[in-house]
Amino acid sequence: MIKRIITIAKKEVILIWRDKLSMIILIALPAVIIAILGGVLSFGLEDSKFYLLDYDNSTASKEFAQNLDISSEFDFAGYLSTESELESLLKNGEAKIAIILHKGFEKDILSNNSRVDVFVDASDLLFSLAVEQRIKLSLSKSNLLNYSYEFNPELKNEVRSVPGLIMIVLIIISSVMLSLSVNRERERGTSRLLILTPISIDGIIIGKSVPYIFIALLHSLSVLFVSKWIYGIELQGAGFNYFAMCMLFIINSICFGLLIAAWVKSEVELLIGCWLFLFIPNVFFSSFIYPIETMAEVTRSIASFLPSTLFLDSYKNVLFRNAQASSTYFNFLILFAQSVIIYLFAKVGFAKNFGRK
Amino acid sequence: MRIILAIIKKEWLQLMRNRVLAFFIFAAPIVILAIIPFSLEGEVNIKAGIVDEDESSASRGLIAQMNNIELFQKVILFNSREDAQLNLSNGNIEMLLVITSNFEYLSVREQKPELLMLLDGTAPYRAKSIFSVISGLLESNEYNIHFHKLFNRAQSHKHYFLLSLIILVILLVGTSLMTLNIVNEKESGILEQFNATLLNRYLYIFSKYLFFIILSLFELIICLFFCFFVYKLTITGTIFEVFISVAIFMFPMLSIGFLIAVLSSNQVQSVYMLTFILLNLILLGTMFTQLSSMPIWAQNLALINPLYYILEISRNIVFKGTPLLKMLPQLTVLIAIGFVVTSIAVLKMSRSHSRW
């Protein structure tokens, strides 16, 4: 059995090796995505430009603008002269934030009553909420709270973006790429030849997935170096747990990919199916873009059982928070159980149509 | 004209005979739009932990005050700091407030009482939000700030997200169909049979573009109708402006798909390339990040990214009602990208197929 699996794996390696373009993409895709895009996806507000309409034109109002400009979140973009200018800037999307300081701003400051009008483009309500919070925060004076950010003292954005990106890479390599190769086998009719050999369907699938698992593991290891050397993130415990987590997640995505491959016929269907049913839910519905806590009660439980949420959660537990093993192993268990169930479903599909064109 | 209609008819029949594909194109987006945006509520829902080392009436008052606020999903009281920190590192709570032992003593004497706050920094953006919410509760502000939230009459979190999702679905479906359709024809030899017909390569490309643009608009109508009935997504501008801008946007995207199809020799290669390029376009667009928070090189790169333009244009039309004529520069760039990529692809194509 093992020997047969190795033979299939060898065949798959040769297949990947001979197609130079695909091989370059398999190797380069993760490097590009993680090393370059890690710094681009920041999600937050950095240097959001604000325009100022200053009717008071006093030292106090200048100080107000300076206070905001100093903070890393806001960037002073320029003075406006009329309210109609402000309106048209906001409407054309050239400005997202505009502030009006009224006459008598300096005078009222003594009575703690100086009125500030902030106009925010709220088509993205989350953005406008964040702007509201940050403006209040950067203008508040007293410092009652003695605070610190645990596990990520400098609040580096890469702590959030890199795990999400490696998740995307693993999903794409292990589901799209592998199921594509399985599907190819079927479309070309070579799967019929494979079925004639003594190896079982399980053996064929395991053998075919071995090279992809290796590539995916290689990338998940390289992420550690990228996080450490390029982004300078402090890593806590990257040992066996990290390896097991990546392995489980890769196997899980493989099973999901196979499930889609088992029920479609052509490459187009597979590609669209993988993007719509694997990429979109795993990216938009997990804690990568929006925190799970902010979701509606009903769907929160679905979202928290999504493979990507489990992966991101254990990634944080293992690498940044150095959590107790019990909380991480629970995630592992769910990932594993999901893989088994999904694989069984995929096998039902394959049993029907693996040998058929 | 007759030839173009014939090709469009052929594509339509080809598409509709494949049941699975028809499901993926028309029903799958609805499934996705029904589940994912539904979950977005935008509540704060903080999972907080408190350690009360003071155990005085002042500290109990503060805890009661926190329990009353709807911002918290749960507030857990811990006995010791170690216990609470363990929960923080297991991810059970996101923030920890420690009320130090001289809290009442200091607050009675009108000195500054000390509170220690630890936040889970592994979600940087959220940690900062939680911090500003909590400090807004505890501290006063010397200005009287009025916020005016424009362009969102429904005050809905979902609409912005819905629009991005619709654009993403249209882009994915249209581009993958276009690419794999052409590669498939190349691979199975149908393209060579076309050589023997009246069709020339410009007509061929033009009719493919036309068909897939019509298909994307069809998909757009389905998505918009669904969003209108389920999520009450209304368009401030006119719906025709949305159609025109999406049709123009599909031109560069389809031309990218066409270029990939010309460059790749089999379907596997084209899927790899398509995935690679789409992923970069999506992640470098402004779907997840504000343009101003990107590094400068990424901001410049966005200027040749069709997805960036369509997101800007469609947001302007749908939420603000900006007239389409104001966004003529963006539309021109989209068309220019389309022409450049198409001509590269046509040149490449004429080299590989001698007669075409």
CA-based nearest distance B1→chain A, Å: 28
SS3 A300: helix
Residues on chain B touching A302 (C-beta within 8 angstroms): 35, 39
How much of chain A, in percent, has pLDDT values that exceed 70? 97
Count Cβ atoms within 10 A of the Cβ of residue B172 and give its class: 0-12 exposed, 13-18 middle, 19 or more buried: buried
pLDDT-derived band at B215, boundaries 50, 70, 90: very high
> Distance from B202 to chain A by nearest Cα, in Å?
24
Instruction: Determine whether the interchain pair A294/B116 forms a contact, defined as Cβ–Cβ distance below 8 Å.
Output: no
A287: nearest CA partner in chain B: B123
Q: What is the pLDDT of residues B33-44, one digit of tens each?
A: 888 887 777 677
In sequence order, what are the residues at sequence separation of 6 or more whose Cβ sits closer than 8 angstroms to the Cβ of residue B218? Answer: none
Taking residue A60's Cβ as centre, other Cβ atoms within 10 Å add up to: 15
Question: Is residue B353's pLDDT more than 70?
Answer: no
Residues of A in contact with B180 (CB under 8 A): 266-268, 271
Residue by residue, DSSP assigns B5-28 as HHHHHHHHHHHHT-HHHHIIIIIH
> Residue A145 above 80 pLDDT?
no
Flag if A160 and B129 touch (Cβ within 8 Å): no
Of B113, B118, B143, the CB nearest to A116: B143
User: Does position B26 have pLDDT exceeding 80, yes or no?
Assistant: yes
**pTM metric for this prediction:** 0.88
Nearest CA in chain A to B130: A133
Q: Which of A125-129, A208-212, A313-317 has the highest mean pLDDT?
A: A208-212
Minimal Cα–Cα distance from A144 to chain B, Å? 6
Chain A residues inside the 8 Å CB shell of B169: 276, 280
Write down the mean pLDDT value for chain B: 84
Rounded to whole angstroms, the Cα distance separating B292 from B304 reads 16
Domains of chain B, earliest start first: 2-40+156-350 (no CATH), 46-138 (3.40.1710.10)
- Tally of CB atoms within 10 A around B202: 10
**By mean pLDDT, which of B48-57, B131-140, B254-263, B333-342 is the weakest?**
B131-140
The C-alpha atoms of residue A292 and residue B39 are separated, in whole angstroms, by 9
Q: What is the distance between the alpha carbons of residues A167 and A157, in angstroms, rounded to a whole number?
A: 16
Mean pLDDT computed over A329-350: 91
Each domain of chain A, given as residue ranges in start order, spans: 2-37, 48-150, 158-353
A171 contacts: CB under 8 Å, gap ≥ 6: A253, A278, A279, A282, A308
Mean pLDDT, rounded, for A167-186:
87
- Average pLDDT for A243-261: 92
Backbone angles phi, psi at A157, to 5 degrees: -70, -25
Chain A positions in Cβ-Cβ contact with residue B155 (cut-off 8 Å): 122, 125
Question: Which among B112, B127, B172 has CB closest to A149?
Answer: B127
Half-sphere exposure of B336 (CA within 13 A, CB side): 10
Record: contact A39-B295, CB cut-off 8 A: yes
- Count of pairs with CB atoms under 8 A, one residue in A, one in B: 361
Min distance A239 CA to chain B CA atoms (Å) = 18
Which residues of chain B neighbour A64 with C-beta distances below 8 Å?
143
Q: Is A276 a residue whose pLDDT tops 80?
A: yes
CATH, range A48-150: 3.40.1710.10
Contacting residues of B for A320, CB less than 8 Å apart: 122
Q: How far is A244 from chain B (nearest CA, A)?
A: 18
Amino acid sitting at position B307: L
pLDDT at A305 over 80: yes
Partner-chain residue, chosen from B112, B264, B288, that has the shortest CB–CB distance to A289? B288
Which of A32, A116, A289 is nearest residue B145 as measured by Cβ atoms?
Answer: A116
- The pair of structure tokens assigned to B290 is 């504000």
How far apart are alpha carbons B126 and A2 in whole angstroms? 48
Q: Which residues of B touch A127 (CB under 8 A)?
A: 290
Whether the complex's predicted ipTM surpasses the cut of 0.90:
no
Taking the C-alpha atoms of residue A215 and residue B272, their distance in angstroms, rounded to an integer, is 15
User: Cβ A21–B138 below 8 Å, yes or no?
Assistant: no
Closest by CA to A151, choosing from B3, B126, B217, is B126
Kindly report, residue by residue over B81-119, the tens digit of the pLDDT. Answer: 888 888 888 888 888 888 877 777 777 766 666 778 888
Instruction: Establish how many alpha carbons lie within 13 A of residue A266's alpha carbon, considering only the half-sphere containing its beta carbon.
Output: 18
pLDDT in tens, A148-158: 787 877 777 78
